[in-house]
Structure 1
Amino acid sequence: MEIARPIPAQNGLAAFQPSRAILASRVSRLNPLIRASSAATQTLAIESSSTTTTTQIHLSNLEKLLQKQTPPLLQYNSQPLDKDSGNGSSREKRFRNLFEGLNLEKILPEMKAPEEMMSPRHMNRLQRLLSKSPEYSPRNNLGSRWREYHGCNDWAGLLDPLDENLRREVVRYGEFIQAAYQTFNSNPATSDDKAPLPRQVSLPDRSYNVTKSLYATSSVGLPSWVDDLAPDISWMTQRSSWIGYVAVCDDKREISRMGRRDIVIALRGTATCLEWAENVRDVLERIPGEENSSQIQPAKVESGFLSLYKTPGSNMASLAKSVVEEVRRLMDLYKGETLSITVTGHSLGAALALLAADELSTCEPEMPPIAVFSFGGPRVGNRAFANRVSNNGVKVLRIVNSQDVITKVPGMFVSEELDQKLRENAKVAGVVNVLDNMPWAYSHVGTELRVDSKMSPYLKPNADVACCHDLEAYLHLVDGFMASDCPFRANAKRSLARLVDEQGSNVKKLYISKAKDLRLNLDNLQAVTIPSCLPSPS
């Protein structure tokens, strides 16, 4: 789910209410994985630091990157980078010229000379970081601690500092969402005249097999003449669209490593016109089953999210029905085994993941542990809904970028700290929090893992809204996060290639130059470009 750029300023308790004129004229530029334009990339300039401290931090990160003591991992044309080798000599000269041009010694005299920085081991590490394939340490056996990593204790003691095993699990579930984006982009059209055929999903983890394709349907529609005006993009106006999948771990070794058989539900973010249209329907409404509730504050969720979740298509079941039926089928198929259910989503997918997890928690008397890993998710419902999810035993880990405005909408722009203080004061006074009775009284759910794009040594400190909400940027930040007082680790393992490819205009020019000098072929990366259409507040 995406939003238009720039975001209208929200002051005090003002509700987010975009005008129809904006919806009709503006084009959303917050596609989660949109490729940066080549023109923007070509016009990049090195960020000029306002203070000496900023410059020192930037160059210190560079020095750490290039001075990491690692053995040579790659060779050029099967020859090491050696001065005595004709092949290595030309490359060494090219690298030396690059860093001599940066004048690092003049900026910071303590920096090492280019000859020292251009040793084979330094360049091999740099090329590894800019390679296509991320390189991680071997997966550890979660064994008897799997419930802890799945959130049974709300990830207490694992977030700050970030536990190495949890880091890997979070990134892994994020890559399941990336597979959903790639699959949708390969064939976004869905026919209303016949039942859809199964989709081929290229999973990042081959120990899992896809068992079910999932579709979301909007309850609103656009007139047929819109398709006549633009037949080549008629899929943009379709009411039903492929939005994700259900997968189950079938590899015995991986089941043994994880300590259970895992069922994953992965959901992508906003991609079609009607999905954006649903995003702006941000009035709270009671969820099914709560219509006749006698509670002072019944559970409510955003009407647009609920519409996409509950509405069936012409030839397909609703997302809600598909998820529940498939999970029941898998539970029956693997009856007697230790199971877990993991729902993961980005943006709009994060909102739908909460609705799915909430419904799954009550669909059977005895359900396996259910956890939600959400990336850049908006608010979904009110405080009563948050309490309902928690009381039903659903564990939620929200990965939030401090610079991502999507995580602050829909609803009133109130900081989590102020919201918590108001609730505590109301509880002490024995009264209802004044915010809870307002039409846009939204509240977040679960435990938060907060990262910050400003802490990455590779991203510009003024990275735009699209970058701050981008899923690959999220995975990059999680992979580098260590603790709140030491945000980015020097030995981060995730490849920078995809980040450079998708957010090149937001990556510091120094690293773009390195990628070009290493002749990194970014064009061969499997890019995910989602067309933009309408703006969204969430």
Structure 2
Amino acid sequence: MIASTIPTQNGLSFQAFRSTSISRCGSRLNPLIRATSASTQTLTTESSRKHLSNLDKLLHQQAPSLPQQDSTPLQNDSFNGSSPEKRVNHLFQGLNLSRIWPEMKAAEEISPRHLNRLQRLLSKSHEYSPRNNLGSRWREYHGSNDWVGLIDPLDENLRREVVRFGEFIQAAYHAFHSNPATSDEVPPSPHHVAVPDRSYKVTKDLYATSSIGLPSWVDDLAPNLGWMTQRSSWIGYVAVCDDKSEISRMGRRDIVISLRGTATCLEWAENMRDVLVRVPGKENSGRNQPVKVECGFQSLYKTPGSNMPSLAESVMEEVRRLMNLYKGETLSITVTGHSLGAALALLIADELSTCEPDMPPIAVFSFGGPRVGNRTFGDQVTKNGVKVLRIVNSQDVITRVPGMFVSEELDQKLRDNSKVAGVLNVLDNMPWAYSHVGAELRVDSKMSPYLKPDADVGCCHDLEAYLHLVDGFMGTNSPFRANAKRSLARLVNEQKSNVKKLYISKAKDLNIEKQAVAIPSCLPSPS
């Protein structure tokens, strides 16, 4: 029962997941269903054309037209001695498109040029443009001015930075699923992390430990999944930029702390401990309420393991070491995380900001993060100079928990009303008076032309879906970016039931699904 409800990379909160019913509905626009009447056929054709027109707009960049092909059937030796481009042309020539779209003439609606574009978008590679030099503006992109003027509309350089830090988190998920077990009897061995940016090198493994335990009968029910109930689990890593050309491009040497989301039973159990608890030694930051954070997050952050220090101790020790190693250089610290990792990233950044007298600039890039503490905690983070950019999907319920189910916009409007301000001050003292902190980059899964408008909660919280939405985001009330180039292969592979059927069908026809590299899965996904 436990394993059947626990996601891996989605990192969902137990509280939100148990209060949200996941419903799945098939797409109403399915050009692959044969029409049974003239009116139905017309509707289906129009739906298909709408999909294809949308795809054409999304991939509007001009590509060289492919040469005319004769009607000779594709021969087995047609690939011999031919270039990769010619092989692609032969592949498209051999596709029986009239079978795929029986309601229309495929040759008129889908040209080889369009198929070539779709194949590139569904391929495994990401065809991003070269990185721009950020040397003179790196502090701005790191949040020195709270990203004012860069979020809406979204600045191209900031888009690249956000996606890049999201891929650091994906590397943490890969490393954990490749080796999830941790022994309480012997020190853990180093994890292999395939950092997406080769200019960075991993310097430290990070572990989070729960302060609670599960009954012994849980181990009896799942003897082969003992790692699920372990108290300490690998949760991320510290990496530092070690490439001179990249340091020059970025304008500083960057230290990255990357954290995955919820994966084990005890991490789920900690997510349920959603009562605010006081943080020892923290001042009130000018408010009547003390600094408080979620009990479960604080537990995972501060609890040491039997053979390892706490997450807090590990991070502080490693950052101090790196600061001393690169003393005299221009440094920055970037903490990035998804879901539970986003919550822990905020706790790490807050403590880092005061651990040494002269700390480098600290920025947090969080994806699908829940609320972490009360309003006093948020004031303290801001006062200490930590810059926070929260990437939020409007359809992601995890970003609205724990605490009262109220949007930040409505909460601020209520506080601006003097008639209810006194009541809200009273509510701030309640055990679930949570508040977000930092700037917000808000995307919406309904804006994607590829995802179904009724995508389920697992898809709306999925990290790859987040990166897909950021890559296509231009601004509020703007359409999906026409020149978005992030590969759809992983999205199709991980969220197949939430992707529109037309694109799933084309992925199958182009044999993309077999090419996609899936993240190793140790636990079933709710999607």
- The interval holding the TM-score normalised by the smaller chain is 0.7 to 0.9
Quote how far apart the aligned CAs of 1:71 are.
3.5
Instruction: Sort the Cα spacing of 1:354 and 1:427 in 2 relative to 1 into closer, same or farther, 3 A.
Output: farther
**What amino acid is the match of 2:372?**
V
Asked if the contact 2:371/2:399 (under 8 Å) is kept, the reply is: yes
**Is 1:217 equivalent to 2:218 in the alignment?**
no
**Is 1:450 equivalent to 2:442 in the alignment?**
yes
**Is 1:493 equivalent to 2:485 in the alignment?**
yes
Instruction: Sort the Cα spacing of 1:100 and 1:379 in 2 relative to 1 into closer, same or farther, 3 A.
Output: same
Asked if the contact 1:80/1:120 (under 8 Å) is kept, the reply is: no
Quote how far apart the aligned CAs of 1:529 are.
2.0
Kindly report which structure 2 residues correspond to 1:288-437, keeping only aligned pairs within 5 A, or say none. Answer: 288-290=280-282, 296-426=288-418, 433-437=425-429
**Is 1:238 equivalent to 2:230 in the alignment?**
yes
Instruction: Sort the Cα spacing of 1:435 and 1:418 in 2 relative to 1 into closer, same or farther, 3 A.
Output: farther
Asked if the contact 1:497/1:522 (under 8 Å) is kept, the reply is: no
State the distance in 1 between where 2:202 and 2:369 align.
24
Asked if the contact 1:72/1:124 (under 8 Å) is kept, the reply is: no
Cα deviations across residues 78-121 of structure 1 (Å, max 9, x unaligned)? 45788xx9x95673252532564354xxxxxxxxx743554443
Q: CA RMSD in A?
A: 3.0
Kindly report which structure 2 residues correspond to 1:147-296, keeping only aligned pairs within 5 A, or say none. Answer: 147-290=139-282, 296=288
**What amino acid is the match of 1:32?**
Q
Kindly report which structure 2 residues correspond to 1:6-17, keeping only aligned pairs within 5 A, or say none. Answer: none
Quote how far apart the aligned CAs of 1:67 are.
5.2
State the distance in 2 between where 1:459 and 1:206 align.
31
SS at match of 1:157: coil
State the distance in 2 between where 1:331 and 1:282 align.
34
**What amino acid is the match of 1:70?**
A
Asked if the contact 1:81/1:92 (under 8 Å) is kept, the reply is: no
**What amino acid is the match of 2:130?**
P
State the distance in 2 between where 1:395 and 1:80 align.
47
**Structure 2: which 5+ residue stretches go unaligned?**
12-23, 31-39, 67-77
Quote how far apart the aligned CAs of 1:470 are.
0.2
Cα deviations across residues 368-401 of structure 1 (Å, max 9, x unaligned)? 0000000000000000000000000000000000
Quote how far apart the aligned CAs of 1:134 are.
1.1
Cα deviations across residues 309-366 of structure 1 (Å, max 9, x unaligned)? 0000000000000000000000000000000000000000000000000000000011
Quote how far apart the aligned CAs of 1:434 are.
3.3
Cα deviations across residues 60-79 of structure 1 (Å, max 9, x unaligned)? 31232465412479xx9445
Equivalent residue, structure 2, for 1:96:
97
**TM-score, scaled relative to structure 2:** 0.86
State the distance in 2 between where 1:133 and 1:44 align.
31
State the distance in 2 between where 1:119 and 1:449 align.
37
State the distance in 1 between where 2:135 and 2:154 align.
19
Asked if the contact 2:9/2:173 (under 8 Å) is kept, the reply is: no
Residue of 59, 69, 72 corresponding to 2:62 = 69
State the distance in 1 between where 2:291 and 2:326 align.
33
Instruction: Sort the Cα spacing of 1:70 and 1:433 in 2 relative to 1 into closer, same or farther, 3 A.
Output: farther
State the distance in 2 between where 1:128 and 1:325 align.
44
Equivalent residue, structure 1, for 2:5:
28
Asked if the contact 1:271/1:530 (under 8 Å) is kept, the reply is: no
Asked if the contact 2:201/2:241 (under 8 Å) is kept, the reply is: yes
State the distance in 2 between where 1:463 and 1:28 align.
18
**What amino acid is the match of 2:55?**
L
Q: For structure 1, which segment, 295-304 or 115-124, has the greater mean C-alpha deviation from structure 2 after superposition? A: 115-124
Equivalent residue, structure 2, for 1:6:
none
**What amino acid is the match of 1:131?**
S
Asked if the contact 1:33/1:528 (under 8 Å) is kept, the reply is: no
State the distance in 2 between where 1:426 and 1:391 align.
25
Cα deviations across residues 256-301 of structure 1 (Å, max 9, x unaligned)? 0000000000000000000000000000011121389995111100
> RCO (CA 8 Å, sep 6+): is it higher in 1 or 2?
1
Residue of 110, 113, 124 corresponding to 2:116 = 124
SS at match of 1:263: strand
Asked if the contact 2:206/2:235 (under 8 Å) is kept, the reply is: yes
Quote how far apart the aligned CAs of 1:414 are.
1.1
- Percent identity, aligned pairs only, is 73
State the distance in 2 between where 1:176 and 1:446 align.
21
Cα deviations across residues 9-48 of structure 1 (Å, max 9, x unaligned)? xxxxxxxxxxxxxxx87943544359xxxxxxxx995424
State the distance in 2 between where 1:411 and 1:354 align.
17
Q: For structure 1, which segment, 60-69 or 486-495, has the greater mean C-alpha deviation from structure 2 after superposition? A: 60-69
Asked if the contact 2:56/2:114 (under 8 Å) is kept, the reply is: no
Quote how far apart the aligned CAs of 1:58 are.
4.0
Quote how far apart the aligned CAs of 1:487 are.
3.7
State the distance in 2 between where 1:132 and 1:252 align.
28
State the distance in 2 between where 1:26 and 1:187 align.
18
Instruction: Sort the Cα spacing of 1:426 and 1:354 in 2 relative to 1 into closer, same or farther, 3 A.
Output: farther
**TM-score, scaled relative to structure 1:** 0.85
Quote how far apart the aligned CAs of 1:425 are.
2.6
Kindly report which structure 2 residues correspond to 1:80-91, keeping only aligned pairs within 5 A, or say none. Answer: 88=89, 91=92
Asked if the contact 2:58/2:484 (under 8 Å) is kept, the reply is: no
**Structure 1: which 5+ residue stretches go unaligned?**
1-23, 35-42, 104-112
SS at match of 1:364: coil
**What amino acid is the match of 1:464?**
D
**What amino acid is the match of 2:351?**
E
Instruction: Sort the Cα spacing of 1:530 and 1:484 in 2 relative to 1 into closer, same or farther, 3 A.
Output: farther
Q: For structure 1, which segment, 125-134 or 395-404, has the greater mean C-alpha deviation from structure 2 after superposition? A: 125-134
**What amino acid is the match of 1:101?**
P
Q: For structure 1, which segment, 482-491 or 309-318, has the greater mean C-alpha deviation from structure 2 after superposition? A: 482-491
Q: For structure 1, which segment, 131-140 or 57-66, has the greater mean C-alpha deviation from structure 2 after superposition? A: 57-66
State the distance in 2 between where 1:249 and 1:120 align.
42
Q: For structure 1, which segment, 429-438 or 251-260, has the greater mean C-alpha deviation from structure 2 after superposition? A: 429-438
State the distance in 2 between where 1:428 and 1:509 align.
48
SS at match of 1:148: helix
